[in-house]
Structure 1
Amino acid sequence: MSVLPGQVKVIWHDGPRIEALLKELIEADFNLAHPGKGRSVWMSLGYILSEQDIYAIAMHDCDILNYERQMLARLIYPVVHPALSFEFSKGYYARVTDRLYGRVTRLFYIPLIQTLKRILGYNAFIEYLNNFRYALSGEFAFDSSLAKGIRISPSWGLEISMLSEVYQKTSVNRICQVEIIDTYEHKHQTLKKGKPAEGLIRMATDIGKALFRVLSQDGLIMSDAFFRTLLTAYIQEARIAIEKYNALALLNGLIYDRHEEIEAVDIFVGSLKLSIQEFIKDPVDIPMMAAWVRVVAAIQDFSDRLFYAVEEDNR
C-alpha cells in the first residue's frame, strides 16, 4: 500500500498484548469471545478513545479500490465543523461502474425495509433507516462523547446495529449523511449458494436478525403470521426492485443480468428464512459488545493499558 501521510498506528488484534487484554475482559464477563470485524472495530474505538484530546472519530472499510483523501475529509467534516452541531455522519455513494453493484443493499435490505413499511405502517425507526441512502456503508464518523456510549455488534449486522445505537443515543437532528465519493469500488464478494455461513448470505442473515432484534426491543410483537407475511411480501418487493433495476440499466446502457438478479433474490429468501428461524430460536443471539464507558467504569485503568499495548506494538 502507499505511504500514508501523518502519524499511523497499527493495532495488532491477534498480538499477545491485545489478546491478553481481551482475555482479561472476557474473564470479567464482557462478551468478546467472537473475533471478526465487529470486535476489531470495537477494540480500535477503545484505543482511539484512550487519548484524552480526541474530538471526532472516522471509520471506513479497508478494501476500497478507488480511495481518495477527500473521502475522509467529506465524511468527518460535518462533525468537526464549528458552526454545525452534528454528532454522527454516515457516508453514501453510488455502487455502479459498467453495471450495478451492492446486491445486499439493492435486493435484500431495501426491499426488506419497504416490506416492513407496508406491514407496520408508520414506524419511526423504520422511517429513520429508510432515509439513509446507503445504510449498509461501512463509512461513518462521530464525536467522541457519542462514541463512548455506543455498543458494537460482533456480527455482519454491525452497520444496522450502529444506526440503531445512534438513534437511541442522540437526536435525529444531530445525524447527517454525506456523499463521500461519486462512485465507490471495493473488492466484491460472490454469492455462494449452499453456503449459508459464508459471505453475502451470512451478511444478509445477520442484517435480518439485527433488524428483528431492534424492532423487538422497541416493543414490536412478531408472530408466526407476521413472519409468513413478511416472507411473501419481501419476495414481491424484490421482484419490483428487479424490474426497476432492469429499466435503470437499459436506460443507462449498463450490463444487467436479470437471471442472475433473480437467483440472488432466491438466495436472499433463504437468508431471510434463516434469520427468522435463528431469531425465533434465540432473540438475543450474540449480545452486543459493551460501550466503552461501561468498560472504563468496570476496569478504570484499562484504557491506559490498552493505549500502552498499542504503543509498544508499534515500536
Structure 2
Amino acid sequence: MDRPAYLLEFEKPLRELEKQLDALHQQSLENNIDMSAELAAIEQKIEVTKREIYSNLTPWQRVQVARHPKRPYALDYVAALCTDFQELHGDRQFKDDQALIGGTAFFDGRAVMIIAQQKGRDTKENILRNFGMPQPEGYRKALRLMKLAEKFGLPVLTFIDTPGAFPGVESEARHVSEAIAVNLREMAMLKVPSLAVIVGEGGSGGALGIGVTDRVLIFENSYYSVISPEGCAAILWKDRAHAAKAAEALKLNAANLKELGVVDEVIAEPLGGAHNDPAAAAAALKAAFTRHLDELLEKSEEDLLDDRYERYRELGQYREVAVK
C-alpha cells in the first residue's frame, strides 16, 4: 500500500498504524492466514486516529498543511475548474513574472479572467516560479489583466498562494510596494465582479496585492496573515522557534478569519488536507465560486462598488470593554 513520502511531524502516529496495517496484510498473504478481523480493527483505529488528528489541528499545524508540497496549486485548480485557459504574458513595462500568472478562461460556461500566484513542485520549477513570490512586474501584469477584464466585462477570479512578495533588492528597486499599493486602489474601484480564494499560503501584502475582491474565500487549512509565523516570532521573541506561539497569536487560520469578517466563506477540505483528494477539493471550490459569482453578477455596477467599499471599511472594527 503506497504511503505519502512527505510526512508532517503530527502525522507520525497515523503512519505507524498504517505500517502495522501493511505488515499485517503482507503476513496474511505470505502465510495464507485469514486475518480480516485484525485488519479491520487496525483500519478502524486508523480512521479514529485520523479524525482525532485532523479535527484538532493547532494554527501552526494548519500552516504546515497549507505549505504541504503535494497540496494542489493554483494551476491545478484552474485545470480542474476551467476550460480553454489562455495564459497572457508580461506587464508591458519590464518582463513576464512566472510567479504570478493570468489569462482568460471559461468557468461554468462564463468567460472569466484568471489571476493566480503559482509555486513550483521541484527545484527547477521553484526557481522559475521564484517560490511563488511575485515581483513588481507580476503585480503590474495582474493590474493589466484586471483592466482588460473590466474593458470586456469579465469577472475576475484570483487564486492566492504566496509566502509574500519577493523582498529582494531588485524587487525593491522596481518599487514592489508601489505596485502592490496601486493594485489595492484599482481593485477597490474595479467595475466587474471579483472573487479571491486562498488555496495555500496568504502572506502579507504579497497576497493582498490580488486580494481586494468582492468576496474572499479560504480553504480550511490555508492561512492569511500580515506576516509569516516565523517572521512574527523573529520580531517579537527574537527566535523563529516560537513560530507556533506566533501562529496562535496572529489568528491567521480560516476559522479565526471568518469570525473576524476577513473572509466570507471557509471551504471544507477532504480529511487530512486538499492533497489527499484534489478532485474533492476542486469540486468544493467550484460550488463556492458558482454560488458567489451568481450573487455578484445580479448586482448593478453601483451596488457592486458600494458593497465592496463597505466591506473593506468595516474591517478592523473593534469594541473596548471595561474589565471589572
Q: Greater strand share, 1 or 2? A: 2
Band the TM-score falls in, shorter-chain normalisation: under 0.3
Give the TM-score taking structure 2 as reference length.
0.23
Give the TM-score taking structure 1 as reference length.
0.24
| Bigger Rg, which one | 2
